[in-house]
Amino acid sequence: MGEAEPMFDPYRVREDFPILRRRIEGKPLIYLDNAATSQKPIQVIEAIRRFYEESNANVHRGVHTLSQEASELYERAHEEVAEFIGAEGIEEIIFTKNATEAINLVAYSLGCKGLGPGDEVVVTLMEHHSNIVPWENLSKVRGFKVKYADVNDEGGLDYEDLEGLVTRRTKIVCVTHVSNVTGAKNDLARISKIARDNGAMVLVDGAQSVPHMPIDVKRLGIDFLAFSGHKMLAPTGIGVLYGRREILEEMEPFLGGGEMIREVRCDKSDGTCRITYNELPWKFEAGTPNVSGGVGLMEAIRYLRGLGMEWVERHEAELTKYALKGLGEMDGIRCYGPGPDSERGGIISFNMDGFDPHDLALLLDQFGIMVRSGFHCAEPLHQRLGLKGSVRASFYVYNVKEEIDELIRALEEIRKG
Protein backbone atom coordinates (compact mmCIF):
# COMPACT_ATOMS: atom_id res chain seq x y z
CA MET A 1 0.00 0.00 0.00
CA GLY A 2 1.31 3.48 -0.85
CA GLU A 3 1.96 6.26 1.62
CA ALA A 4 -1.13 8.18 2.70
CA GLU A 5 -1.46 11.63 1.09
CA PRO A 6 -0.25 14.24 3.57
CA MET A 7 -3.26 16.25 4.71
CA PHE A 8 -1.30 19.46 4.94
CA ASP A 9 1.23 20.50 2.32
CA PRO A 10 3.04 23.77 3.07
CA TYR A 11 4.65 23.72 -0.40
CA ARG A 12 1.17 23.72 -1.95
CA VAL A 13 0.05 26.44 0.51
CA ARG A 14 2.96 28.65 -0.55
CA GLU A 15 1.60 28.84 -4.09
CA ASP A 16 -1.39 30.83 -2.77
CA PHE A 17 0.82 33.64 -1.43
CA PRO A 18 1.99 35.95 -4.25
CA ILE A 19 4.42 37.84 -2.02
CA LEU A 20 6.47 34.70 -1.43
CA ARG A 21 7.63 34.91 -5.05
CA ARG A 22 9.51 38.13 -4.25
CA ARG A 23 13.28 38.23 -4.03
CA ILE A 24 15.13 40.41 -1.54
CA GLU A 25 18.77 41.28 -2.15
CA GLY A 26 18.61 38.79 -5.04
CA LYS A 27 17.57 35.98 -2.69
CA PRO A 28 14.20 34.30 -2.22
CA LEU A 29 12.13 36.00 0.47
CA ILE A 30 12.12 34.09 3.77
CA TYR A 31 9.36 35.59 5.87
CA LEU A 32 9.79 34.73 9.55
CA ASP A 33 7.98 37.71 11.08
CA ASN A 34 4.55 36.15 11.27
CA ALA A 35 3.96 37.12 14.90
CA ALA A 36 4.05 40.75 13.72
CA THR A 37 1.73 40.17 10.78
CA SER A 38 1.03 37.35 8.35
CA GLN A 39 1.13 37.41 4.57
CA LYS A 40 -2.14 37.18 2.61
CA PRO A 41 -3.29 34.43 0.23
CA ILE A 42 -4.66 35.28 -3.19
CA GLN A 43 -8.11 34.09 -2.04
CA VAL A 44 -8.26 36.90 0.55
CA ILE A 45 -6.87 39.51 -1.84
CA GLU A 46 -9.47 38.48 -4.45
CA ALA A 47 -12.35 38.51 -1.96
CA ILE A 48 -11.58 42.11 -1.01
CA ARG A 49 -11.25 43.11 -4.66
CA ARG A 50 -14.56 41.38 -5.47
CA PHE A 51 -16.27 43.23 -2.64
CA TYR A 52 -15.15 46.61 -3.98
CA GLU A 53 -15.92 45.68 -7.57
CA GLU A 54 -19.36 44.22 -6.92
CA SER A 55 -20.93 44.96 -3.52
CA ASN A 56 -19.38 48.04 -1.92
CA ALA A 57 -21.83 50.10 0.15
CA ASN A 58 -22.31 51.19 3.73
CA VAL A 59 -23.95 48.61 6.00
CA HIS A 60 -27.22 48.74 7.96
CA ARG A 61 -28.00 52.15 6.51
CA GLY A 62 -29.62 51.71 3.12
CA VAL A 63 -32.56 49.79 1.69
CA HIS A 64 -30.90 49.53 -1.72
CA THR A 65 -29.46 46.35 -3.17
CA LEU A 66 -25.81 47.13 -2.58
CA SER A 67 -26.35 48.07 1.05
CA GLN A 68 -28.34 44.87 1.58
CA GLU A 69 -25.55 42.81 0.00
CA ALA A 70 -22.81 44.53 1.98
CA SER A 71 -24.80 44.12 5.23
CA GLU A 72 -25.35 40.43 4.54
CA LEU A 73 -21.65 39.87 3.86
CA TYR A 74 -20.66 41.80 6.97
CA GLU A 75 -23.09 39.85 9.17
CA ARG A 76 -21.99 36.55 7.64
CA ALA A 77 -18.41 37.49 8.52
CA HIS A 78 -19.48 37.78 12.17
CA GLU A 79 -21.21 34.38 11.91
CA GLU A 80 -18.11 32.69 10.51
CA VAL A 81 -15.92 34.18 13.23
CA ALA A 82 -18.41 32.93 15.85
CA GLU A 83 -18.26 29.41 14.41
CA PHE A 84 -14.48 29.51 14.16
CA ILE A 85 -14.01 30.14 17.89
CA GLY A 86 -17.08 28.29 19.22
CA ALA A 87 -19.08 31.38 20.26
CA GLU A 88 -22.87 31.13 20.61
CA GLY A 89 -23.64 33.57 17.81
CA ILE A 90 -22.93 36.97 16.32
CA GLU A 91 -24.15 38.73 19.48
CA GLU A 92 -20.86 37.67 21.03
CA ILE A 93 -18.62 38.85 18.16
CA ILE A 94 -17.63 42.52 17.99
CA PHE A 95 -15.46 43.68 15.13
CA THR A 96 -12.73 46.10 16.18
CA LYS A 97 -9.67 47.58 14.52
CA ASN A 98 -7.32 45.01 16.06
CA ALA A 99 -6.58 43.11 19.29
CA THR A 100 -5.40 46.33 20.91
CA GLU A 101 -8.74 48.03 20.37
CA ALA A 102 -10.57 44.91 21.57
CA ILE A 103 -8.69 44.99 24.89
CA ASN A 104 -9.19 48.76 25.21
CA LEU A 105 -12.91 48.26 24.59
CA VAL A 106 -13.17 45.95 27.60
CA ALA A 107 -10.95 48.14 29.79
CA TYR A 108 -12.73 51.41 29.05
CA SER A 109 -16.17 49.88 29.16
CA LEU A 110 -15.48 48.32 32.57
CA GLY A 111 -13.91 51.63 33.56
CA CYS A 112 -17.26 53.35 32.82
CA LYS A 113 -19.16 50.89 34.96
CA GLY A 114 -17.63 48.16 37.07
CA LEU A 115 -14.07 49.11 38.06
CA GLY A 116 -13.20 51.56 40.81
CA PRO A 117 -11.38 52.06 44.13
CA GLY A 118 -10.86 48.81 46.02
CA ASP A 119 -11.00 46.72 42.83
CA GLU A 120 -8.04 44.91 41.34
CA VAL A 121 -7.02 43.80 37.85
CA VAL A 122 -4.47 41.01 37.55
CA VAL A 123 -2.24 40.88 34.49
CA THR A 124 1.04 39.02 33.93
CA LEU A 125 4.61 40.06 33.24
CA MET A 126 4.50 38.28 29.89
CA GLU A 127 1.81 40.56 28.43
CA HIS A 128 2.15 42.57 25.26
CA HIS A 129 1.94 46.31 26.05
CA SER A 130 -1.61 46.32 24.72
CA ASN A 131 -2.70 44.22 27.70
CA ILE A 132 -0.85 46.43 30.21
CA VAL A 133 -1.09 50.07 29.14
CA PRO A 134 -4.92 50.37 28.97
CA TRP A 135 -5.24 48.90 32.48
CA GLU A 136 -2.44 51.06 33.90
CA ASN A 137 -3.79 54.26 32.32
CA LEU A 138 -7.32 53.61 33.47
CA SER A 139 -6.27 52.62 36.98
CA LYS A 140 -4.93 56.15 37.47
CA VAL A 141 -8.29 57.66 36.59
CA ARG A 142 -10.58 55.11 38.22
CA GLY A 143 -8.51 54.30 41.31
CA PHE A 144 -8.29 50.51 40.99
CA LYS A 145 -5.04 48.56 41.32
CA VAL A 146 -3.13 46.56 38.69
CA LYS A 147 -1.17 43.54 39.94
CA TYR A 148 1.39 41.53 37.98
CA ALA A 149 1.73 37.75 38.08
CA ASP A 150 5.36 36.70 37.72
CA VAL A 151 6.97 34.42 35.16
CA ASN A 152 9.67 31.83 35.79
CA ASP A 153 13.19 32.06 34.39
CA GLU A 154 12.07 30.29 31.20
CA GLY A 155 9.40 32.92 30.68
CA GLY A 156 6.53 30.57 31.58
CA LEU A 157 3.71 31.80 33.83
CA ASP A 158 4.19 31.31 37.58
CA TYR A 159 0.77 29.85 38.40
CA GLU A 160 1.36 29.87 42.14
CA ASP A 161 2.15 33.55 42.07
CA LEU A 162 -0.98 34.16 40.02
CA GLU A 163 -3.08 32.12 42.42
CA GLY A 164 -1.74 34.18 45.34
CA LEU A 165 -2.64 37.47 43.63
CA VAL A 166 -6.20 36.64 42.63
CA THR A 167 -8.62 37.43 45.45
CA ARG A 168 -12.24 38.48 45.92
CA ARG A 169 -11.07 42.02 45.06
CA THR A 170 -10.02 40.88 41.60
CA LYS A 171 -12.55 41.90 38.96
CA ILE A 172 -10.72 40.59 35.92
CA VAL A 173 -7.66 38.46 35.12
CA CYS A 174 -6.03 39.46 31.81
CA VAL A 175 -3.61 37.00 30.25
CA THR A 176 -2.12 36.22 26.92
CA HIS A 177 -2.75 32.74 25.56
CA VAL A 178 0.63 32.52 23.82
CA SER A 179 3.55 34.86 24.52
CA ASN A 180 4.64 36.88 21.48
CA VAL A 181 8.23 36.66 22.76
CA THR A 182 8.84 33.14 24.06
CA GLY A 183 5.94 31.25 22.50
CA ALA A 184 5.02 30.02 26.00
CA LYS A 185 1.43 28.78 26.03
CA ASN A 186 -0.69 29.41 29.10
CA ASP A 187 -3.08 26.88 30.59
CA LEU A 188 -6.34 28.79 30.22
CA ALA A 189 -8.48 26.17 31.95
CA ARG A 190 -6.29 26.48 35.04
CA ILE A 191 -6.34 30.28 34.91
CA SER A 192 -10.12 30.35 34.39
CA LYS A 193 -10.60 28.15 37.44
CA ILE A 194 -8.44 30.41 39.61
CA ALA A 195 -10.42 33.44 38.42
CA ARG A 196 -13.82 31.81 38.72
CA ASP A 197 -13.12 30.54 42.25
CA ASN A 198 -12.71 34.21 43.18
CA GLY A 199 -15.64 35.55 41.16
CA ALA A 200 -13.36 37.28 38.61
CA MET A 201 -13.74 37.48 34.84
CA VAL A 202 -11.04 36.31 32.40
CA LEU A 203 -9.84 38.24 29.38
CA VAL A 204 -7.58 36.32 27.02
CA ASP A 205 -5.30 37.99 24.52
CA GLY A 206 -5.51 35.53 21.66
CA ALA A 207 -3.42 37.55 19.18
CA GLN A 208 -0.80 34.79 19.01
CA SER A 209 -3.05 31.77 19.46
CA VAL A 210 -6.27 32.20 17.45
CA PRO A 211 -4.34 32.26 14.11
CA HIS A 212 -2.41 29.11 14.99
CA MET A 213 -4.53 26.52 16.81
CA PRO A 214 -8.12 25.37 17.30
CA ILE A 215 -9.89 27.54 19.89
CA ASP A 216 -13.22 26.94 21.59
CA VAL A 217 -14.15 29.79 23.90
CA LYS A 218 -16.92 27.85 25.63
CA ARG A 219 -14.68 24.88 26.41
CA LEU A 220 -11.98 27.23 27.73
CA GLY A 221 -14.53 28.92 29.99
CA ILE A 222 -13.25 32.43 29.29
CA ASP A 223 -15.23 35.69 29.23
CA PHE A 224 -13.37 37.72 26.62
CA LEU A 225 -11.03 36.89 23.75
CA ALA A 226 -9.21 39.54 21.72
CA PHE A 227 -7.43 38.93 18.42
CA SER A 228 -6.33 40.62 15.18
CA GLY A 229 -7.23 39.63 11.62
CA HIS A 230 -3.90 40.70 10.15
CA LYS A 231 -2.02 37.96 12.01
CA MET A 232 -4.30 35.31 10.50
CA LEU A 233 -4.13 35.96 6.75
CA ALA A 234 -6.72 38.79 6.79
CA PRO A 235 -6.04 42.47 6.07
CA THR A 236 -4.95 45.04 8.64
CA GLY A 237 -7.63 47.14 10.33
CA ILE A 238 -9.97 44.32 11.38
CA GLY A 239 -9.90 42.61 14.76
CA VAL A 240 -12.28 40.80 17.05
CA LEU A 241 -13.53 40.93 20.58
CA TYR A 242 -15.43 37.86 21.70
CA GLY A 243 -17.44 38.52 24.85
CA ARG A 244 -19.87 36.38 26.80
CA ARG A 245 -23.34 37.62 25.90
CA GLU A 246 -24.58 38.12 29.49
CA ILE A 247 -21.55 40.28 30.25
CA LEU A 248 -21.72 42.30 27.01
CA GLU A 249 -25.37 43.04 27.65
CA GLU A 250 -24.47 44.69 30.95
CA MET A 251 -21.47 46.61 29.62
CA GLU A 252 -21.48 50.26 28.55
CA PRO A 253 -20.43 51.05 24.96
CA PHE A 254 -16.86 52.23 24.53
CA LEU A 255 -17.54 54.60 21.61
CA GLY A 256 -20.69 56.53 20.76
CA GLY A 257 -22.12 57.49 17.36
CA GLY A 258 -24.06 55.99 14.49
CA GLU A 259 -24.80 52.27 14.22
CA MET A 260 -24.51 51.68 17.97
CA ILE A 261 -27.79 53.41 18.86
CA ARG A 262 -31.44 52.47 18.39
CA GLU A 263 -32.92 55.86 19.33
CA VAL A 264 -31.68 59.34 20.19
CA ARG A 265 -34.38 61.72 21.45
CA CYS A 266 -33.22 65.19 22.40
CA ASP A 267 -35.61 67.68 23.92
CA LYS A 268 -34.51 71.27 23.33
CA SER A 269 -37.07 72.61 25.83
CA ASP A 270 -35.71 70.84 28.90
CA GLY A 271 -32.22 69.93 27.54
CA THR A 272 -32.64 66.18 28.04
CA CYS A 273 -31.47 63.52 25.62
CA ARG A 274 -32.66 59.93 25.82
CA ILE A 275 -30.40 57.40 24.11
CA THR A 276 -31.16 53.72 23.70
CA TYR A 277 -28.49 51.41 22.42
CA ASN A 278 -28.66 49.01 19.51
CA GLU A 279 -28.68 45.25 20.06
CA LEU A 280 -25.49 43.18 20.30
CA PRO A 281 -23.00 43.23 18.70
CA TRP A 282 -23.75 46.56 16.99
CA LYS A 283 -23.96 48.35 20.35
CA PHE A 284 -20.15 48.14 20.39
CA GLU A 285 -19.51 48.95 16.72
CA ALA A 286 -19.91 52.73 16.50
CA GLY A 287 -19.56 54.43 13.11
CA THR A 288 -19.08 52.97 9.66
CA PRO A 289 -17.21 49.72 10.18
CA ASN A 290 -14.42 48.14 8.16
CA VAL A 291 -16.69 46.16 5.87
CA SER A 292 -14.02 45.04 3.40
CA GLY A 293 -11.86 44.01 6.37
CA GLY A 294 -14.72 41.84 7.61
CA VAL A 295 -15.03 40.27 4.17
CA GLY A 296 -11.27 39.63 4.12
CA LEU A 297 -11.37 38.11 7.58
CA MET A 298 -14.21 35.79 6.57
CA GLU A 299 -12.21 34.58 3.58
CA ALA A 300 -9.09 34.13 5.73
CA ILE A 301 -11.08 31.98 8.16
CA ARG A 302 -12.44 29.89 5.30
CA TYR A 303 -8.89 29.39 4.09
CA LEU A 304 -7.62 28.36 7.53
CA ARG A 305 -10.58 26.02 8.06
CA GLY A 306 -9.82 24.51 4.66
CA LEU A 307 -6.32 23.69 5.89
CA GLY A 308 -7.64 22.47 9.26
CA MET A 309 -6.52 24.22 12.44
CA GLU A 310 -5.20 20.95 13.91
CA TRP A 311 -2.87 20.66 10.91
CA VAL A 312 -1.82 24.28 11.19
CA GLU A 313 -0.90 23.72 14.83
CA ARG A 314 0.92 20.46 14.10
CA HIS A 315 2.89 21.97 11.22
CA GLU A 316 4.08 24.91 13.32
CA ALA A 317 4.98 22.62 16.24
CA GLU A 318 7.17 20.57 13.89
CA LEU A 319 8.89 23.67 12.50
CA THR A 320 9.45 25.03 16.02
CA LYS A 321 10.98 21.77 17.25
CA TYR A 322 13.20 21.64 14.18
CA ALA A 323 14.33 25.25 14.60
CA LEU A 324 14.96 24.91 18.35
CA LYS A 325 17.10 21.85 17.69
CA GLY A 326 19.09 23.61 14.95
CA LEU A 327 19.59 26.80 16.93
CA GLY A 328 20.39 24.80 20.07
CA GLU A 329 23.26 23.06 18.28
CA MET A 330 24.87 26.37 17.29
CA ASP A 331 27.63 28.01 19.32
CA GLY A 332 26.86 31.40 20.83
CA ILE A 333 23.08 31.25 20.39
CA ARG A 334 20.76 31.52 23.38
CA CYS A 335 17.07 30.76 22.87
CA TYR A 336 14.50 31.91 25.42
CA GLY A 337 11.26 30.29 26.43
CA PRO A 338 10.07 26.74 27.02
CA GLY A 339 11.99 23.76 25.62
CA PRO A 340 11.12 21.93 22.39
CA ASP A 341 8.95 19.33 24.15
CA SER A 342 6.76 21.87 25.96
CA GLU A 343 3.39 23.06 24.73
CA ARG A 344 4.30 26.22 22.92
CA GLY A 345 3.51 28.36 19.89
CA GLY A 346 5.69 28.80 16.80
CA ILE A 347 7.67 31.76 18.12
CA ILE A 348 11.36 31.67 19.03
CA SER A 349 13.30 34.59 20.48
CA PHE A 350 17.04 34.37 20.74
CA ASN A 351 20.30 36.29 20.88
CA MET A 352 23.67 35.64 19.33
CA ASP A 353 26.72 36.47 21.47
CA GLY A 354 28.40 39.69 20.42
CA PHE A 355 25.52 40.95 18.28
CA ASP A 356 22.95 43.62 19.02
CA PRO A 357 19.47 42.26 18.08
CA HIS A 358 18.74 45.05 15.59
CA ASP A 359 22.15 44.63 13.91
CA LEU A 360 21.58 40.91 13.62
CA ALA A 361 18.12 41.43 12.09
CA LEU A 362 19.62 43.86 9.56
CA LEU A 363 22.33 41.37 8.65
CA LEU A 364 19.73 38.62 8.21
CA ASP A 365 17.78 40.95 5.93
CA GLN A 366 20.72 40.84 3.53
CA PHE A 367 20.08 37.09 3.25
CA GLY A 368 16.43 37.79 2.40
CA ILE A 369 15.36 36.70 5.90
CA MET A 370 12.76 38.84 7.70
CA VAL A 371 12.80 38.60 11.50
CA ARG A 372 11.82 41.04 14.23
CA SER A 373 14.25 42.54 16.74
CA GLY A 374 13.92 44.58 19.94
CA PHE A 375 11.37 44.20 22.74
CA HIS A 376 8.47 43.07 20.52
CA CYS A 377 6.18 45.41 22.51
CA ALA A 378 6.78 43.29 25.62
CA GLU A 379 9.38 45.26 27.54
CA PRO A 380 8.40 44.06 31.05
CA LEU A 381 9.06 40.44 30.03
CA HIS A 382 12.48 41.32 28.62
CA GLN A 383 13.29 43.19 31.85
CA ARG A 384 12.18 40.21 33.94
CA LEU A 385 14.41 37.89 31.87
CA GLY A 386 17.30 40.35 32.10
CA LEU A 387 17.40 41.02 28.36
CA LYS A 388 18.07 44.23 26.46
CA GLY A 389 16.17 42.87 23.48
CA SER A 390 16.04 39.79 21.29
CA VAL A 391 15.70 38.57 17.74
CA ARG A 392 12.49 36.74 16.97
CA ALA A 393 11.63 34.17 14.31
CA SER A 394 7.97 33.20 14.05
CA PHE A 395 6.33 30.67 11.77
CA TYR A 396 3.10 30.18 9.89
CA VAL A 397 1.35 27.92 7.42
CA TYR A 398 3.63 28.68 4.46
CA ASN A 399 6.98 28.27 6.21
CA VAL A 400 9.06 25.17 5.46
CA LYS A 401 12.09 23.46 7.02
CA GLU A 402 14.38 24.61 4.21
CA GLU A 403 13.80 28.21 5.36
CA ILE A 404 14.94 27.31 8.86
CA ASP A 405 18.04 25.67 7.34
CA GLU A 406 18.69 28.96 5.54
CA LEU A 407 18.25 30.94 8.77
CA ILE A 408 20.80 28.74 10.53
CA ARG A 409 23.20 28.89 7.58
CA ALA A 410 22.93 32.69 7.53
CA LEU A 411 23.51 32.94 11.29
CA GLU A 412 26.61 30.73 10.96
CA GLU A 413 27.94 32.91 8.16
CA ILE A 414 27.27 36.12 10.10
CA ARG A 415 28.91 34.69 13.22
CA LYS A 416 32.06 33.71 11.29
CA GLY A 417 32.09 37.28 9.88
Question: Coil, strand or helix: which one is 33?
Answer: strand
Q: How far is CA 390 from CA 89, 178, 335, in A?
A: 40, 17, 9
Among residues 55 and 350, whose Cβ is nearest to ligand C6P?
Answer: 350
Q: Is 36 in the site for ligand C6P (CB under 6 A)?
A: yes
* Cβ 38 to ligand C6P shortest distance, Å: 11
Note whether 212 binds ligand C6P by CB under 6 A: no
Element (H, E) at 317: helix 309-328
x/- binding map, residues 86-115, to ligand C6P, per CB under 6 A? Answer: ------------xxx---------------
**82-114 burial by CB neighbour count: b if 16+ within 10 A, else e?**
bebbbbeebbbbbbbbbbbbbbbbbbbbbbeeb
Work out whether 208 is an interface residue with ligand C6P (CB under 6 A): yes
**Residues in contact with 304: Cβ distance below 8 Å, sequence separation at least 6, in sequence order:** 84, 211, 232, 233, 312, 397
Q: How far is the CB of 208 from ligand C6P (least distance, A)?
A: 5
Which of 109, 124, 130, 290 is in the footprint of ligand C6P by CB under 6 A?
A: 130
* Position 176 contacts ligand C6P (CB under 6 A): yes
Q: How many residues bind ligand C6P (CB under 6 A)?
A: 16
Compute the distance between CA of residue 184 and CA of residue 192 in angstroms, rounded to an integer.
17
Least distance (Å) between residue 306 CB and ligand C6P: 24
Q: Segment contacting ligand C6P (CB under 6 A): 61-69, 201-209, 265-273, 317-325?
A: 201-209
In the set 228, 292, 320, 349, which binds ligand C6P (CB under 6 A)?
A: 228
Cis omega (within 30 of 0) for bond into 18: no
User: 119 or 206: whose CB is closer to ligand C6P?
Assistant: 206
Considering only residues 328-387, where is the footprint of ligand C6P by CB under 6 A? Answer: 372, 376-377
- CB 125, CB 148: distance < 8 Å: yes
Q: Does 39 bind ligand C6P (CB under 6 A)?
A: no
- CA dihedral sign of residues 336, 135, 283, 291: negative
Q: Determine the Cα–Cα distance for residues 264 and 258; give it in Å rounded to an integer.
A: 10
What angle (nearest 5°) sits at the alpha carbon of residue 142, between those of residues 137 and 147?
60
Quick check: is 377 catalytic? yes
- Residues noted as catalytic: 377
Q: Which residues bind ligand C6P (CB under 6 A)?
A: 35-36, 98-100, 128, 130, 176, 180, 205, 207-208, 228, 372, 376-377
